[in-house]
Amino acid sequence: MGRYPKLPEHLKQALRQIEPSRAQLISYYPCIVTMQSGRVLDRVYFQEELTYFKVWGVYPEEDSGKSWIKIDEVASVAESPSRLPAALATELYDAGETGMGGHEFTVEFSDGRKEFFVGGNAVDFIEYPPGKSLKDVVDVRQKGRGTPQRRPPYFWCLYS
């Protein structure tokens, strides 16, 4: 038995509809979540607990820098509208950190606009500029120029 409850079948089916980004041992599922209370939370990573712990080394509820939600309080999940396209997020993970414990990267949009972002090691979520979405993203590259945008906060939701 794990530290966290098992992933309910209805959530397992929903996660199968989301293309994960990948970083070595881990597959990230960037989601928007409806809680049992009706509250909607965007920017939630769903992750199996043992793989999470191997990569991050501490459970989210024991890390003051991480926010988390309980799997048994989740009613439904869908792909987050705030995520980067999975293949491009995977490119950033494959390229590795640009600094100790973090990533700096530039997102290029279909109209040529570029936005520079900085943040920690989980790269999937950004705050899209007005009128832009993941469908407008055409490329990412490490580093950038200008004033960087901080990436938004996110949650972890672990299961066994």
Divide the 160 residues of the chain into consecutive groups of 10 and give the mean pLDDT of each group: 92 98 93 98 96 94 95 98 98 90 94 95 96 97 92 96
Domain presence at residue 129? yes
Per DSSP, helices labelled H in 22-77 are: 49-56
Whether residue 68 sits in one domain with residue 15? yes
Predicted pLDDT at 100: 77
Query: What's phi and psi for 99, nearest 5 deg?
Result: -155, 175
Domain presence at residue 141? yes
* pTM of the predicted structure, to 2 decimals: 0.94
Instruction: Round to whole Å and give the CA distance between 63 and 158.
Output: 14
Domain presence at residue 24? yes
Domain presence at residue 116? yes
Domain region containing 31: 9-82+155-159
Whether residue 90 sits in one domain with residue 58? no
Whether residue 121 sits in one domain with residue 74? no
Query: What's phi and psi for 60, nearest 5 deg?
Result: -60, -35
Domain presence at residue 2? no
Number of domains, the chain: 2
- Tell whether the torsion through CA atoms of 141, 142, 144 and 147 is positive or negative: positive
Predicted pLDDT at 1: 61
Whether residue 129 sits in one domain with residue 66? no
Nearest partner of 124 among 78, 74, 87, 77, judged by Cα: 87
Predicted pLDDT at 154: 97
Let me know the angle formed at the C-alpha of 78 by 72 and 83, rounded to the nearest 5 degrees: 115
Domain presence at residue 1? no
Predicted pLDDT at 153: 96
Domain presence at residue 3? no
Predicted pLDDT at 82: 98
